[in-house]
Structures are given as structure tokens and as C-alpha cells.
Structure 1
Amino acid sequence: MDSSTGDAKVAPEDKEKWMNTQWRPASEKMEEVIAVVLADVVASESRQRAIQARHYPQFECSLTGLICAVAEHWASGEPGWLYTTRSRSKTKGSRYRPQIYSASYPKLQDELSECGWIDLRKGDQGPESVLKSRTTLRASPRLRQLLTEHDISFYDFQLAPVSEVIELRTTKDFKSKEYELVEYSDTDEALKMRAQMDRIHAALLDADIVCIDTDCDDRQRTMKRIFNNSDLSCAGRLYGGFWQPMSDTQRLEEISINGEDVAILDYDQMSLAIAYGLSGLPLPEGDLYLIDGLSRLVDREPRPTVKQVVNAMFNRKTPLTEYPKGVAPLTYQGGEEVYPARWLAEAIREKHAPIADWFEQGRGLELQRRDSDIAVDVLLKLIDDGIVALPVHDAFIVPLSKKDYVRSVMIDTFQEHIGGEVKVSEKLPPIISIAA
């Protein structure tokens, strides 16, 4: 996020952007640059104090991440500065602390500045400050010259996974939507999930994935599993890939995998399918979000609203009497009178009476944990078969030629986890869709 003072416009050369601590070398050329800087700083530091062997790996990691961050910023052509921290409270030990942070991270900034590799502006965060500022840095002329000599460009960098790919959060505050990160023990389950994410990231980082949309950075391929309510049994969906904020239309038109167009395969009505399966009941025929006769009463297609209300009923612990926040109420045809939310909730309970005990019991995050485990398992099976897939919760972006095989893997994996029935729909690129 760029910073500004009041409403005044900030000149491009003065803009400040958060420093991404995950940039790492993606080429031998950039590794050579890091080696030059590392050797110079070590030689300079040797005249002051020796680096203890046990601290050297962290020192090298911190230097690599910091130099890659300012070098990538310069190579991408962005003006301005990157802001970072010198706060000990932010660099102290935590599983969520960026890998490049350590107690000596502020000193490393000073050393790189003294050696002429970065331009550094120290922030003023003291309690007596009237106008506080952030610490900012950028590639120095000396570093820019070295990068130019090695012909470093945008694609000589890659994003490493975040320091902790299994993220546990507290329950969100009802009003502010804020949460805290929770420290947790490395149980066998947590270690297994982390190892699974490592395999997925290794495959994605090595894959031939291209996005032609210049607003998307197709190097951003790493994700994390996010759990809620301070409980690793709640949620666990994957977030972070460049493809996730895109629309399905953008994904189909702008992404290629191994030089191929892609298809999107999506589990249909996943939460309901899981609830029926875990209850040992057959999946009803037809559209599970279709309420008989409702479309004749209201002024727009009700299915999207029904889907949102079903999901809300899975998550809440009290009877639904009002439309959830963010859900536009259905209104009767020919007028502005609202179709009552409690009637819609009752119609949903009646349609899905066999699984009514799943509604309004706060079990939504349990369902998300189930669908996220299925998604991870699908990804791992496809990796074993040499197939790259990009997950969007319970959907997968896959090479067009592999879509039928991926569909079979998705159905088989669902049945292994849940034991019930599920349907998988597909979306194809525009040209293929028209031809079909």
C-alpha cells in the first residue's frame, strides 16, 4: 500500500510500498549477485566482528531476502521506496515471523547501507516523536550497477512460501472482523499438513504456468492453509495464488498450463454433498439450491441468494430470521416488499429435511475442513500423476487435455473422504465452449 500524507499527492519517487520478504533468486545470475554482496558484507564485517557459525544461515537468509526485495523492486521498474521494520517486537521469535527477520535484522540494514548496497532512511518510531515515519530502503546505485552488469530482470526472482504455511487464527471480531494469529504446537497433524504444502509448492514453482494479464504476477504461486477459531479442525482452505482473485472468465482466457488452454472443474454444491454423504444419505436429484415455486414469487433468479443463505445456515448457531449481512434480500414480484428471510430458511430446512440437523449448529467450518482436506488430496494425487492444478477452494484450474481424468480423480477422492455422491461441473475456454 502506498503511503501519503493527508490528501496531498505523493510524487512517484517518494512513494512507499511494503517490502515483500519472500523474494528469492530464480536464476544463477541472481545467485551470483547475492554471492558478490554476501562476500563484500562478510569481508567488511570481519574487521568488526566475526559471524558465529550458528548464526550464519540466518544471516545469509536475511541478506538474500532483503537484497532480492530491493532488486526485484528496481527490476520491475517501480519507483519509490520499500518500507520495512526495525522493531524488535516484530522480529522476535514466532512461527509467523518472516524468515528474513531476526534480532540482528536492523543491524543488517545498517551494514548493507554502510557497504553501499542499499539506500536506507531510518524511521522515527520513538514515543516522543511528533511525526512518526517508517524505515524505507531501495537498491543503491552500486547495487543497480551490479544488477545491470548481470542483466537482471523481472524473471530472475521467485516467491518463496510464507514462513508458516499452516496459519491458525482466532475467531474474528464480529464488528471489526479483526483476528489474531495463534501460536500452536507442531503436532503430527500439523507436520503432515506442512509437508503436503511443501510438495504442492515445489510442483507449482517448477510448473510452466503463464498468465497473460499484466496486472497478475504469475510468479505468485505459493499458498497457505488458513484455520479459524483457534482450532485446526475449523476450515483450512488454501489462499494466496495469483489466480484466486481472478474471475472464471479471466482464468479461462488468460491462464495457460504447459502451453495449453485450461478448464475449470468444480465440485457442485459441495457443502450439501458433504453433509448428505457424512449422514449416510443419497444425494437428492436435481438442483439442491432450487426451492419449488420461489422463482414465481420473487423479482429475480433466487438461486444465488438461496446458496448464500444455505451457507449462512451452516455457519450460524441460531435460527436465521434476517438476511445475512451482504446478502441482498429477495423481494416480491411487482413491488418492494421483502420476501421474509425466516420463510426462506424454513423452505431450505424443509427441502433438506434429512440433514436439517446440520443447519444452524455452527458446523460450516467443519465442512470447510472436509472440503479443504479433499482439495489437498486431489492436488497431491495429480502431482503424483504429473498434472498441475491450481485450486480455488473446491474447484481446480487444469490443462484442458486432462479435464476428464481430473474429474475422475475428484469424484474418487470425494468418495474416499466422505463416502457419498458428488457431481463435478466444468467450464471451458470460450472457443471450446462455442464449438461444443
Structure 2
Amino acid sequence: MDQLNSIDELEDEEVERDRPFNPYRFAASEDTKAIVREAIALVSSYEDRFDLRRNKRRPRDQQTFEQTVEAVLADLIHGHLVGGTGIYVTRSNRVLGAKSRYRPPVYSKVFPAILDLLAKPEMGYVEQDVAADVQGATRSTVIRPGQRLLDRIAELGVGLDDLDAHLAGETIILKRSKDPKDYWDEGERLDYLEDDRTDRYRAELAEINQWLQEADLQFDWKGIAWPHTLIALRDRRLRRVFTQGRFDSGGRLFGGFWQQLRKDERRTGLLISGEKAVELDYGQAGARILYGMAGQQPTSDDLYHLWGYVQQREGIKRVMSAMIFADKPLERFPQFTRALFRKGDKIAEVVQAIELKHSLIKDRFHCGIGHDAQFIESQIMVELLLIMKAKGIIALPIHDALMVPWSAAATAKDAMLSVFQRMTGVKGIVTRSGV
């Protein structure tokens, strides 16, 4: 399998090949609440009819039951509206019964039973593909809206504004290292003990999330080609994802409806504080951070320009990023990059040319420090958001970029350059896209 790692493109939890269940989704309008009430009543009637329960649920258990039905249906509606793909849930008793900071209230040992009830032919709210019960393996299930739920969505004209999500759940997430031999391994979430550092990270993010929740954000679809990315403007909550089982690895910010949008959509339709938005990107961020980690200064303004590969600049950028993450010399072109080079180009020759240009940091390649560099990038972005908040400028993060009102672009750019220099010891580059 081709290798793929990039400080500019690697996104830990960010590239979610199959969307996981959001257990914090809920019905926010009378229409969606009516769907949930009907489902609860029908399932309860079904249980009574077939004598599936000997005793009435205790009040606390009834509350959990109703919350679970609501979360499942609300997330299925959301999934259907934004693209119709399946949603992954777990049936593992080890996961559902474990005490963990990540376990939501609806994840209880009766969760699979509730899914099974909703999936009964008489109910028709859920379709599920249940994985085989293999000893020692975690059981995953893909769920999709059943015909009854699809009919209700159509009959009531349900849209994304009929749904919302609780501002709950862990925002500071720690993940183990991914198995390099398993392409589909996304890195399991790890529990951890609180300390001053995690308390600080959580407090910073809580301050940022509260600020963004109150921000004046709008979107204008005029002039944007179909198909449109379906979004809900209230989806603004960010989380930080740390990798390799360390809190000085990764740490990028994920979440917020603006991160779901295509670049052309963000740059054309997003309004911040009533103004068109401008996107400010750190140029060559990974490479420049690497120079800073080595205590060196870049020897040229364009770190991806190589003689002999002038027309292959984008390919050089991606290969160099992969070299930062790799823990051994590249033996093949990273995934999706071969087409960016000429037919006769060989990966060994490309790597050698990059090492020759960047001889000052040659010893930093192929030693797996990409996530460490990504952590520095994430610290820069958190610092910038807090600075923008203090200045009264709404700023939306997109990994190594900020979206700001056009009138604040110059101020934001100055702050970005200043923070990058201070935190890396290297001069940064910021490019502007948009108005």
C-alpha cells in the first residue's frame, strides 16, 4: 500500500472514511420531536404486545431509553440529509460497559437491544448491518434510516435546522498510534489522568467554543455551484485530537461547519460579522516548523522549489511532508502523488534531491517527528484564536489556516506572522485567498 502522511493533509480523526455515530444529536423542532415521540410509543407498544419486558422500566432507565431512541433517530436523519451514508455504531459490551471519559450516556449495555427494536420490520426506523460475532473482536454495526423514518423525513420536510447537538462530550481527545500495517486503523481513543496541562487545554478550548457559539456567522449560497455541502450553522464546537498517546503530539482542532465546506464554498459564501470571509493560510508550515525544531533557518523562500522538478512542485511538497512523518526512508511514492511526477521519476531520486536542498534538516527526515511538528502547529493556532478573541475579531480555524472578516485580514496576518516567529524561531509565510 502506498504511504501517505502529510503535516498539511494528515488529519487523524479528520478524514473519517466512515462517519461514526454522534450520540449527542437531538430533535430540536416540533416536527423531529414528533418523530421521536411516535417511535418511543410504537416501540413501547411492541414490547407490551410481545411481552418483551417483565417489569416496567425504572424512571432513570426510561430516561436513558428515550434519550437513546432520540439520539439514534436524530443522527440518522442528519446522516441522510448530509449525504445518505451509513453510520457506524458499536455493539461491544467491552465498550458499552466500560467507564470512560468518552462514553456518552446513551451508550449502555441495552444499546444493541434498542437498535434491534428500532430495526424490527414492524418498526421500520432503522436498517442495520450487524458484524459477525467473532470472539475477541469488537462488533461494529452500520445503521441507516429505515423506510418509516425516510417517509417521516419526507412528509414533514425535515431539514438540518430541525436538529441540534448537545454541547457535551470530551473535547480533549487522546488517541493511540495507528497500526502502520492496517490502513483502516484510525487509532483507538485512550483514557487518561487529568493534570495541569489537560486542564489548561480544556479551559482554552471551552473559552474558544463559547466565543464561537456566540459569533455572527452566516452563509450565502448565491453563486455557488451545485451540489452544495449541507451544513448547520449551529455546528461550531471544536475539539482537539492528540495522537501517538501523547499530549505533545498532534493536537489539531476539528469540528465546526466551516471545516465541512469545500474551499470554493467557504471563500464564496461564508460571512463573518456580516462581511465576506478571507482565508489566510500558513505557507510551507510543516517544512518551516521542521527548520525551527532543528534550530536552523530556511535557506530559501520557496522550500518546495527544486531544480529539475520545477513543474513537480506540488509533488515535492507532498513527498517532503511524507518524509517528515515517515519513520524509515520512503520506498515508493506516497499515495496519490505518483501522478504528480513524470513517468521516469523515481522516489529515491526525488528523496535525494529534497535532502540535498534541505541538508540542514536532513537528519530530521524519516524519523517520525511529523506529529511533533503538527503539535507546534496546533499550539500556534490555539494561541492565534485567543489573540483574535482578545482583539474582537472572529476567526475560524481550518488546521493551519484562519477564516476572518475581510476588513480584519491585515491585522490577522500580522498576528499570524508574529506568533509563528515567536513559537518556531523561523519566519512564517501567510497567503491570502478570497475577497
Q: Same fold (TM over 0.5)?
A: yes
In structure 2, what is the equivalent of residue 168 of structure 1? 175
Secondary structure (helix, strand or coil) at the match of 1:406 reads: helix
Q: Is the contact made by 1:83 and 1:135 (CA closer than 8 Å) also made in structure 2?
A: yes
Q: Is the contact made by 1:265 and 1:407 (CA closer than 8 Å) also made in structure 2?
A: yes
Q: How does 1:289-368 map to 2 (within 5 A)?
A: 289-291=304-306, 293-295=307-309, 301-320=311-330, 322-328=332-338, 336-338=343-345, 340-368=346-374
Change in Cα spacing, 1:120 to 1:331, as seen in structure 2 (3 Å) is: closer
Q: Is the contact made by 1:169 and 1:226 (CA closer than 8 Å) also made in structure 2?
A: no
Change in Cα spacing, 1:155 to 1:352, as seen in structure 2 (3 Å) is: same
Is the aligned partner of 1:255 residue 2:270?
Answer: yes
**For residue 217 of structure 1, what is the amino acid of its counterpart?**
L
**For residue 92 of structure 1, what is the amino acid of its counterpart?**
G
In structure 2, what is the equivalent of residue 195 of structure 1? 203
Q: How does 1:356-435 map to 2 (within 5 A)?
A: 356-429=362-435
From 220, 231, 245, the counterpart of 1:218: 231
Change in Cα spacing, 1:61 to 1:410, as seen in structure 2 (3 Å) is: farther
Can you list the C-alpha shifts for 1:60-107, whole angstroms capped at 9, x where unaligned?
754653464467679x69999989666644522344434422234457
**For residue 343 of structure 1, what is the amino acid of its counterpart?**
E
Shift of 1:181: 0.6
Distance 1:168 1:18 in 2: 15
Distance 1:352 1:78 in 2: 44
Distance 1:351 1:80 in 2: 45
Secondary structure (helix, strand or coil) at the match of 2:413 reads: helix
Secondary structure (helix, strand or coil) at the match of 2:253 reads: strand
Shift of 1:239: 3.1
TM-score (norm 1): 0.70
Is the aligned partner of 1:22 residue 2:27?
Answer: no
Moved more, 203-212 or 249-258: 203-212
**For residue 218 of structure 1, what is the amino acid of its counterpart?**
I
Change in Cα spacing, 1:124 to 1:177, as seen in structure 2 (3 Å) is: closer
In structure 1, what is the equivalent of residue 96 of structure 2? 91
Distance 1:321 1:61 in 2: 50
Change in Cα spacing, 1:350 to 1:162, as seen in structure 2 (3 Å) is: farther
Distance 1:127 1:51 in 2: 32
Distance 2:116 2:329 in 1: 58
Can you list the C-alpha shifts for 1:297-319, whole angstroms capped at 9, x where unaligned?
xxx71211221122122122333
In structure 2, what is the equivalent of residue 181 of structure 1? 188
Shift of 1:37: 8.7
Shift of 1:120: 6.7
**For residue 301 of structure 2, what is the amino acid of its counterpart?**
G
Distance 2:39 2:411 in 1: 48
Structure 1 unaligned spans of 5+: 1-16, 430-436
Is the aligned partner of 1:155 residue 2:161?
Answer: yes
Shift of 1:167: 4.0
Can you list the C-alpha shifts for 1:47-67, whole angstroms capped at 9, x where unaligned?
935425xx7885675465346
Structure 2 unaligned spans of 5+: 1-18, 135-139
Shift of 1:144: 6.2
Distance 1:159 1:230 in 2: 28
Distance 1:228 1:95 in 2: 17
Moved more, 357-366 or 249-258: 249-258
Distance 1:154 1:251 in 2: 18
**For residue 296 of structure 2, what is the amino acid of its counterpart?**
L
Distance 1:18 1:281 in 2: 42
Q: How does 1:223-238 map to 2 (within 5 A)?
A: 223-238=238-253
In structure 1, what is the equivalent of residue 9 of structure 2? none
Secondary structure (helix, strand or coil) at the match of 1:226 reads: strand
Secondary structure (helix, strand or coil) at the match of 1:380 reads: helix
**For residue 428 of structure 1, what is the amino acid of its counterpart?**
G
Secondary structure (helix, strand or coil) at the match of 2:164 reads: strand
Q: Is the contact made by 1:209 and 1:218 (CA closer than 8 Å) also made in structure 2?
A: no
Moved more, 419-428 or 95-104: 95-104
Percentage of pairs with the same residue: 25
TM-score (norm 2): 0.71
Secondary structure (helix, strand or coil) at the match of 2:259 reads: coil
Q: Is the contact made by 1:168 and 1:230 (CA closer than 8 Å) also made in structure 2?
A: yes
Larger-gyration structure (1/2): 1
Shift of 1:155: 1.3
**For residue 310 of structure 1, what is the amino acid of its counterpart?**
M
Can you list the C-alpha shifts for 1:202-239, whole angstroms capped at 9, x where unaligned?
33343323263663233243343333333332222233
Higher relative CO (Cα under 8 Å, sequence separation at least 6) belongs to: 2
Distance 1:26 1:34 in 2: 11
Change in Cα spacing, 1:112 to 1:270, as seen in structure 2 (3 Å) is: closer
Distance 2:59 2:21 in 1: 26
Shift of 1:270: 0.9
**For residue 304 of structure 2, what is the amino acid of its counterpart?**
Y
**For residue 357 of structure 1, what is the amino acid of its counterpart?**
D
Can you list the C-alpha shifts for 1:21-40, whole angstroms capped at 9, x where unaligned?
3323557x689879989999
Moved more, 375-384 or 174-183: 174-183
User: RMSD value over aligned CA atoms?
Assistant: 4.6
Distance 1:312 1:177 in 2: 18
In structure 2, what is the equivalent of residue 209 of structure 1? 218
Shift of 1:322: 4.2
